[in-house]
């Protein structure tokens, strides 16, 4: 997938479809939000996150973004769930990344809307348990991948600095991560 994204980027650059000067060609995004974990079989944790992203806009309105999401901490159940020889304490330590194709469009009053669709990969979180026979807490890692959706509304504060707010939904039908997020962007 990474090779295909790089090939598409170089194609656009070589054919001269470079972003217009009024919007950045390259953006670094940093911020955070709160993931609301869900899903049918193995719901993910609900906890605060931080997001880091790089977006490249080889065509005025079209770009590719790579986003890293980390949710340090645990989403503990209150009370823990009894399950035979163990207590299920909750989940935590969420991490995954996404690669999306984004479309941006200027709207009135110098704002931009962006939507994206792509893949989620490298998803992982820990199911926290206390095993009574061992008298200790253990973590079972859950791995997942799937799809990524993004929607942002943003505004350029200066030529280089911007602010975006919106939602992301990263899911594979068994585990879902809905996240309201705010991102600061540094664009060139």
Query: What is the pLDDT averaged over residues 176-187?
Result: 96
Number of neighbours of residue 8 by Cβ within 10 angstroms: 14
Helix intervals (H) in 46-161: none
Identify the three-state secondary structure at position 156. Answer: strand
CA distances from residue 50 to 63, 128, 155 in whole angstroms, order as listed: 22, 21, 20
For the entire predicted model, the pTM comes to 0.83
Per-residue model confidence as pLDDT tens digits over 43-95: 889 999 999 999 999 998 999 999 999 999 999 988 999 988 899 999 999 99
pLDDT of the residue at 1: 53
- Fold category of 2-187 in CATH: Porin (2.40.160)
- Give the Cα separation of 117 and 167 in Å (integer): 12
Per-residue pLDDT, averaged over 25-39, amounts to: 94
Parse the chain into domains and list their residue ranges. Answer: 2-187
Please provide the average confidence, as pLDDT, over all residues in the chain: 87
Place of tokens 């049918």: 40
């Amino acid at each position: 997938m990474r090779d295909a994204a790089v090939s598409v980027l170089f194609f656009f650059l070589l054919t001269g479809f470079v972003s217009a000067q009024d919007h950045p060609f390259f953006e670094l995004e940093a911020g955070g939000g709160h993931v609301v974990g869900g899903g049918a079989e193995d719901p993910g944790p609900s906890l605060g996150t931080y997001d880091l992203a790089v977006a490249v806009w080889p065509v005025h309105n079209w770009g590719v973004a790579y986003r890293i999401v980390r949710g340090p901490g645990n989403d503990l159940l209150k009370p823990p769930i009894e399950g035979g020889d163990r207590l299920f304490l909750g989940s935590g330590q969420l991490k995954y990344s996404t690669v999306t194709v984004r479309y941006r469009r200027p709207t009135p009053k110098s704002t931009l809307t962006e939507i994206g669709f792509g893949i989620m990969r490298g998803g992982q979180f820990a199911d926290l348990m206390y095993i009574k026979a061992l008298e200790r807490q253990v973590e079972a890692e859950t791995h997942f991948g799937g799809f990524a959706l993004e929607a942002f509304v943003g505004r350029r504060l200066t030529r280089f600095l911007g602010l975006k707010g919106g939602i992301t939904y990263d899911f594979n039908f068994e585990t879902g991560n809905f996240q309201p997020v705010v991102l600061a962007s540094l664009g060139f």
